[in-house]
Each structure stands twice: as C-alpha cells, then as structure tokens.
Amino acid sequence: MSGAPLARLSLFYALYFGVIAIMIAWQAPYFSSLGLSPTDIGWLLGMAGGLKVVSPLLWGWIGDHMHQRIWIVRLGACLCVASILWLPFVSSFWTLAAVLCTFSFFWDAILSQFDAVTFEHLGDDGRVWYPRIRGLGSAGFVVMAFASGYWFEWFPIGHWPWGMLALVVVLAAVSLTVPGRLVKVDDAAPATGFVAMVMAPAVLSFLVAAFLIKVSTAPLNVFFTLYAMQNGHSQWIAGSLWGLGVVIEVVILVFNSHRLARYAPGRLMLLALAVAMLRWPLIAWGIESLGLMVFASMLHGITFGVFHAGAMEFLRQQFPRRQLGRGIALYSTLGFGLANMIGAPVSGYLYQSGGGQLAFMVATVVATIGFMLLYWQLNRAPQESRAH
C-alpha cells in the first residue's frame, strides 16, 4: 500500500457519492414537478438503471484487458459531463429518458473500475483500508444530503439539474488527478474460467442475495423523499434523514474497519439483510413519526454500508486480480443494474396503487427471501466441507 494516494481516492469517492446523494434524494420530486406520475418516474429510472445490466460488464471486460483502468474512469467522467449538460433543458418523458440513459451508460463505467483501481493501490491491505476510504468518501453523501435539504427549503427544485451538472464537472476534474497503477498480469488464462467461477454455488448465492437486497431498496431510492414530504416532513428533514443514514455508515466503515475484518463476508451480508427486514416496515408504517424515521435512517449504515463492505471483500477473495474488474462489474450489473431496472418501475406501480406502505412491505418480503437464501447457503457450505 506504500505510496497509495489515499486523500485523492477518498476525495473521488466523496464527490461520486455526493452526486448520488442529490440524485436519489431529489430526482423524484424534480420529475414530479415536471408533471410525471409515480409510474412514469419508476419507468424513467428503471430504463436508466437498466443500462447497468450491460455497461458495467462491458467496461469491466475492457478494464481487465487494459493495464491502466484509470483511463476508463476519466473517460466515463468526462462523457458524463457531456450527457448531463442537457438535463436542465429537457422536460418530456422521452427526452429525459434519452439524457438519463446516456448519462447512466457512462456513469456505470466509473465506480466498479475505480473500486478496482483502489484495490490495485491498496494491495493486500485492502480488507482494512477499503472500508475506511469508502467510508470517508461517504462523507460527501452526508454533506450533499444535508446541504441540498437546506438549499431546497429556500430555492425551487428546478435548480436540481444545475447542481448535478456542477458536481459531475468537479468529479471529472478530480479524476484527472488520481494516478493510475500499472498492473502486470499474467497473459495466460486463469486456472479457473470467469464463467466457471461465477457458477460456483457460493458466488451464485451471493449474486442473488445482492440482487434481492438492492431490489428491496428500490422504494427507498426512488420514493422516500416524496413519501416523507407527503407525510408532513419538510425538504430539510427529508434531506437530513438521508444524510444521517450515511453518517452512521461512515462511523461503521471508518472507525470499525478492523472489527468488520474479523467477520466472514457472508455473515456481514446476512446481518444487513436481517436489518433490512426491520427497516422497511418501520418506514412503511412509521413515516409520520420523526423519531422512527431517525432510527430507520440510522439503519442505513448496516443495510448498505456493512453489506457493501462484505460484498467487496467477498469479491476480492473469490476473483483473482485479472478477473476482479469483471467480478465487481457483475456485482454492479445485478445489484444495481438489473435490480434497479426491475425495482424502480415495480415500486412506481406499487406506490401509485397502494402508496408507500404497500411498496415498502413488498420490499420487506424481498429482503426476507434474500436472507433465507443466504442463510441456507452459509449453513450448507460447512456441511459440504465436512462431507469431503
């Protein structure tokens, strides 16, 4: 890890998740202000998210065959600027879809490849240092969640696309300062092919569990701000609830990384699914209670932060360096792409037909299925080991 640019890696993550903060917190209110229905919003975000089914694997394949993944990150960030530049000037469903889908295609080139760049810099110390860097990056989410909530108390939601554009421009600039790392890989094929590794029962169970927890998160990502505002909470409160959850995530990842490293990745992910089974009903039935929403938001540190830390360590253990980019990309494809493509429009239908209560209770069922599957796999693996 000697010489790793920790500050620049953390700054990039902070800006990336700062964009995510204002994106997921305010996109639904903004699209609603343009006259789109909840169903329209669900389909719009599902279409954009659907590109994550293809693009991360494409970029991951390219990254695994290049010696400098950072060039993919830089290219993706600059093309994001070129696409998001049009967002303030479009308002119809199909023009918004065109802009968001183009942006999403290039946006998806960034995170999985930057994660691989980070692991290249950290080496074997990644198990301890990655959660810290990723946690410090989450501070950007916190700052933007609180700041945007305060901003929209005083200024119209129509400023949202300009804020998106400004942050993406800064992100692209910072990407130019992050050094790449030349990784020498063996040109010979790995002992186990990529497809064979993916088809291993442990990896398949992990991917399905990741898909299910992200599907269950779709109502939160798409409609939580709108749901909170419709039940009496102000813009500042809604933004602050987003920020609070990530504050807890930062505390867990940054200050408890050594503790997390003591536990098997599967156990961490199982804990996250169990907590999701509690969090979604709290939001469904307790949305009018600020106290319950504060508690539910604090659980984000586990449902997202702990799950992601476990997932990244699982991938690092399962895939050799040459295949790590594709492994992370596959996780992104299923956990963020396919899950969002299905979860967002389904959440839109559920929200329009039965409100937030129905949407979040269905999310609870999905998280429960994920928990049962992963629990079964974790208990099956030791039995198979003893049998052999």
The CB-side HSE value for 328 (13 A sphere, CA atoms) comes to 27
Q: Are 6 and 133 in contact (CB under 8 A)?
A: yes
Beta carbons within 10 angstroms of residue 72's beta carbon: 23
Beta carbons within 10 angstroms of residue 177's beta carbon: 10
How far from each other are the two terminal CA atoms of the chain, in whole angstroms? 37
Residue type, 93: F
pLDDT score at 192: 62
| Residue 352 in tokens | 């329009």
Three-state SS annotation for 297-365: HHCHHHHHHHHHHHHHHHHHHHCCHHHHHHHHHHHHHHHHHHHHHHHHHHHHHHHHHHHHHHHHHHHHH
Stretch (H or E) spanning 172: helix 160-175
Beta carbons within 10 angstroms of residue 61's beta carbon: 14
pLDDT in tens, 279-301: 999 999 999 999 999 999 999 98
pLDDT score at 70: 84
| Residue 357 in tokens | 């209560």
pLDDT score at 385: 41
Burial label for 206, CB within 10 Å (0-12, 13-18, 19+), is buried
Distance of CA 42 to the CA centre of its chain: 17
pLDDT score at 127: 62
Q: For the chain, which ranges sit under pLDDT 70?
A: 1-4, 64, 66-67, 123-128, 181-192, 255-258, 381-388
**Coil/strand/helix, residue 187:** coil
pLDDT score at 256: 66
User: What whole-number distance in Å separates Cα of residue 194 and Cα of residue 274?
Assistant: 30
**Residue found under tokens 């990896």:** 203
pLDDT score at 188: 47
Stretch (H or E) spanning 65: none
pLDDT score at 309: 83
Secondary-structure percent of the chain, ordered helix, strand, coil, rounded to 5? 85, 0, 15
Stretch (H or E) spanning 116: helix 111-122
pLDDT score at 382: 54
Residues in the chain: 388
Q: 129-144: buried (b, 16+ CB within 10 Å) or exposed (e) per residue?
A: bbbbbbbbbbbbbbbb
Burial label for 279, CB within 10 Å (0-12, 13-18, 19+), is buried
Distance of CA 46 to the CA centre of its chain: 15
Beta carbons within 10 angstroms of residue 121's beta carbon: 22
Listed in sequence order, the residues at least 6 apart from 94 whose beta carbon sits closer than 8 Å to its beta carbon are none
* Structural domains of the chain ordered from first start: 6-182+192-380 (1.20.1250.20)
pLDDT score at 67: 64
